A and B are shown apart, each in its own frame.
Chain A
Amino acid sequence: MTDRTYQRLDPQQAAERVKASINLRKRKETRFLWLGKTAVAIALGFLVLLFAGILSKGIPGLFQYYVTLDVRLDARQLDPSGQMTVESLAGGDFDGAILTSLYEALGNPEGRKEKREARRLISSGSSQRLMNYVLDNPEQLESMVSIQFAVDDDVDTFLRGLISRETPEADRRISDQLIGYIDALEAEGRISYEISDYLFFGSASRDAEMAGIRGALVGSILTLLVCIVIAFPLGVATAVYLEEMAPKNRLTEIIEININNLAAVPSVVFGIMGLAIFIVAFGMPRSIPLVGGIVLALMTLPTIIISSRAAIRAVPPSIRDAALGVGASKMQTIMHHVLPLAMPGMLTGTIIGMAQALGETAPLLMIGMVAFIVDVPGGVTDPGTVLPVQIFMWADFAERMFVQKTSAAIIVLLAFLISMNAAAILLRKKLERRW
């Protein structure tokens, strides 16, 4: 710069130059502003696209098609030994009862081929459904009842219009005969489109029409419980120690570096640690919410510690000085004054950490929570799975109806996450203090 000499311009020339450049600069300014606006618009566009994609598939997934059949509950057929217990009902011919009423509704088709096609109409879980109905309403035995049974997933997909009638018969999963039956039932008004009870109360199943998230939801709740029971006290205690008591020495420094490093470790690595330590070295069983919760707790610990430390730091020193001044000990100052005042901030951080844990999949895959488990876990040591892992598993299944079920499960997961984050924001707004 120094070796360049500038010729002095006279003011008139300078003014002209500025004037000449001003339009260009204005254009540049507008362009820059538009770049910013476009970037925001694109980012928000992605958000809209993501949610539109999920909602457009997921909201239909909350519903499914049912067929209403009039079933005659014949006690001798359904409960041959007459004890009305789960064991005695297991000997009953529920399939027969359902099929009889199904054939009746279809005008009693003759021939084996026709009957086989008719059987493909309803879900294979229907006999279980009828058995549960009988167990719940024993007084209705020997009478005619109309019950809604789920239709098979292929039929469901057809009713949604995702399988076209124009496709040649050999290329689609349902036959012309079956389509004829569906049309007949629809004309009778037996087919209805309702909120899927299987989705919310059913357990894992390979049959798309019966698959539900109940087991995964319970598993998620148990895992989160373990996670919060471990992570919250540990996180708060660590934060209190580091902010209020720790001397400035080597150990403290190492702890702080460690916490920052842990926050940066990819989540899948925590899963590997859980696998190597808790399952292989300690011999704990796979797929249990207890191990999942411990792994997630270690993973969310940095988040909770960092936000708790911020909350403690926000409590003004004058509070501590006042407490110490009237004779409280250090520990009393912390327990009686600092902690209660910092609690809202700590809880906010914990809720956000829990939301993160709720959505986490990869570490739980490592510790085997990806197993196919039909039973709903009854405790933290029963094998189970969690909602995000269930979504991952369903996303792999080929049946088309699973796409809708997966999206519906995602909607449930997102609803939980959004309400947790909203709770955190509300808590912060309501309890936040300005000093």
Chain B
Amino acid sequence: MSFTNLMLTVLVISALYFIAGQRVARALRSNNAGKLHSLPHYHGVWAAVTSALPALFVLLTILIGKDLLFQFWARDYFPEDVMNGDTVDRAIALAKVSNVINGISFGEVEPWVQAAGDAWIRWDANAIVVANSLVLAVSLVGGLLGYRRINLAFRSRNYVERILTWMLIGSSLVAILTTIGIVLSVLFESIRFFKLIPPQDFLFGLEWNPQFEGAERAGSGGGTATYGMVPMFVGTFLISAIALTVAIPIGLFSAIYLAEYATPRIRGIVKPLLEILAGVPTVVYGFFAALTVAPFVKSVGESMGLEVASESALAAGLVMGVMIIPFISSLSDDVINAVPQSLRDAAYGLGSTRSEAVRQVVLPAALPGIVAAVILAVSRAVGETMIVVMAAGLAANLSFNPLDAVTTVTSQIVTILVGDQEFESAKTLSAFALALMLIITTLALNYFALQIVKKYREQYD
């Protein structure tokens, strides 16, 4: 049986145990021998769980463990020079073996590779037999043990609920595991990168030229690979700044209009329309930026006698600004609405006009929230990927001119990691270091926004 079928079989067995457990509990109840502690279906679930849980655990262990074990065993077949080589050589050797296993052949296969592949196939066949017998035995015996415990006084509901609680706790730990996964995956590769490239060169270097790496390694000259992240961060913040100059005024004034002036009807129409802008996939914005906005910016700039790159920061920034308008407007809208009506009424009572009340009373009261919204928008803009990949170009120019082509952290990450990469090269690893910086930046921005809201929040009630 394949592993999928095995899993299905386990589920079928546990379903049978459910029926059996429920039936025996019902029989106990109808014997009038006494009062059943738990409802019959809890007994059924108990029997099913004792059958399925250990069996699935064993199955999963075998599934994950077998390849690791086989990789270890396969080393016995590797010749001396591979074992004495570095990790790359061993990875190549393993790849060759896995090609043999999958029946892919590129010309002549070395005898030891063939031997290892044949052995692997043999082990795999054995593993399936072992897994089948072990898993089925565990599921049958486990279910039987659970089933035998069912009697009148057996507290199956309590046990089932306890298992359920642990499953809920397990689910909520996934969030933590994800964070750990993100941090570890980025951190380890970054540490390897910093072993190759000194951190100060990366953090303060003004030049970004990873493409020379191959030439450097081959010793053919033609330039040195440099890994300075400053141009990318300047590009990122240039584009974000352009985006914010578009989004802050439009978003903020829209929010003020919607919260303070608009009738409920207009509000009911305009607000969802603005939120459509937030729901449009970023790849669509990227397409729009590259195809429509960038040529437009270029032609307008050239008609004014300016030199505009065809992938200018301005075009990407403008479109990104449009993307974050709803972000700023709906967050600010919430904050403005949270300012109590009594403050406005007091302002009107002193004879102020609506705009005076907004400018001198409502906005100051809402300011911390608005600042937080803007910071969150910055973090959104910094992490935004597709628009810059499609519209901002790849040239790592250190430039503050919005008409130049610049590149960003995210677009470099994508460029480096799309396609095949070798995991030992500094170029690939640099993407992880960039990602680490990106995470630190966005989390710092979010933390900052949270602190502002916490510190300056006015308590009105």
A: which residues have CB within 8 A of B? 25-26, 28-29, 31-33, 35-40, 42-44, 46-47, 50, 53-54, 233-234, 237-238, 240-242, 245-246, 254-255, 258-262, 264-273, 275-277, 280-281, 283, 298, 301-302, 305, 329-331, 355, 358-362, 365-366, 368, 370, 388-389, 391-392, 395, 403, 406-407, 410, 413-414, 417, 421
Contacts and interface: CB of A to CB of B under 8 A. Distances in A.
28 contacts: A25-B353, A29-B353, A29-B355, A36-B257, A37-B257, A39-B251, A40-B274, A43-B277, A50-B284, A50-B322, A53-B288, A234-B171, A234-B174, A237-B167, A238-B174, A255-B175, A262-B178, A264-B379, A265-B383, A266-B438, A269-B435, A272-B185, A276-B189, A355-B279, A359-B282, A360-B281, A391-B283, A395-B287
Contacts of B279: 355, 359, 417, 421
Contact of A273 (B185, B355, B413): B185
Interface in B155-203: 157, 161, 164-165, 167-169, 171-176, 178-179, 181-182, 185-186, 188-189
B382 to A, nearest CB: 7
Contacts of A269: 182, 186, 383, 435, 438-439
A36 B417 contact: no
Contacts of A414: 280, 284
Contacts of A410: 284, 287
Interface string B274-297: 101101111111111011100000
B176 to A, nearest CB: 5
Contact of B175 (A46, A246, A259, A280): A259
A392 B249 contact: no
B185 A241 contact: no
A31 to B, nearest CB: 8
B261 interface: yes
Interface stretch (B104-112, B338-346, B384-392): B384-392
Contacts of A391: 283-284, 287
B168 A237 contact: yes
Nearest to A252: B172
Contacts of A53: 288, 291-292
Interface size class of B (residues with CB under 8 A): 35 or more
B253 A36 contact: yes
A239 to B, nearest CB: 9
A272 B442 contact: no
B8 to A, nearest CB: 15
A258 B161 CA distance: 26
A301 B175 contact: yes
Given A361-B283, A417-B281, A255 B176 contact: yes
B325 A254 contact: no
A261 B356 contact: no
B233 interface: no
Contact of B186 (A29, A276, A301): A276
Given A241-B171, A392-B386, A50 B288 contact: yes
Which of B256, B290, B359, B417: most chain A Cβ within 10 A?
B417
A262 B175 CA distance: 8
A276 B185 contact: yes
B439 A275 contact: no
B430 interface: no
B51 interface: no
Contact of B254 (A26, A32, A40, A50): A40
Interface of B: 67, 157, 161, 164-165, 167-169, 171-176, 178-179, 181-182, 185-186, 188-189, 249-254, 256-258, 260-261, 270, 273-274, 276-277, 279-288, 290-292, 322, 325-326, 329, 353-356, 358-359, 376, 379, 382-386, 389-390, 410, 413-414, 417-419, 423, 431-432, 435, 438-439, 442-443, 446
Contacts of A44: 270, 273-274
Contacts of B186: 269, 272-273, 276
B359 to A, nearest CB: 8
Contacts of A255: 172-173, 175-176
B357 to A, nearest CB: 10
Contact of B261 (A33, A260, A413): A33
A268 B388 CA distance: 12
A245 B359 CA distance: 45
A413 B273 CA distance: 18
A286 to B, nearest CB: 9
A6 B166 CA distance: 71
Given A53-B292, A237-B172, A370-B418, A40 B258 contact: yes
A262 B357 CA distance: 38
Given A36-B253, A36-B257, 17 more contacts: A40-B254, A43-B251, A47-B276, A47-B277, A237-B168, A241-B168, A245-B165, A254-B176, A266-B442, A273-B178, A277-B185, A359-B279, A365-B417, A406-B287, A413-B284, A414-B284, A421-B279
A-B pairs with lowest CB-CB distance, top 10 = A266-B383, A36-B257, A359-B281, A276-B185, A39-B253, A237-B171, A32-B355, A362-B385, A241-B168, A238-B172
A44 B250 CA distance: 10
Given A35-B253, A40-B258, A361-B386, A283 B67 contact: yes
A362 B179 CA distance: 19
B107 to A, nearest CB: 23
Given A28-B355, A43-B274, A331-B161, A258 B175 contact: yes
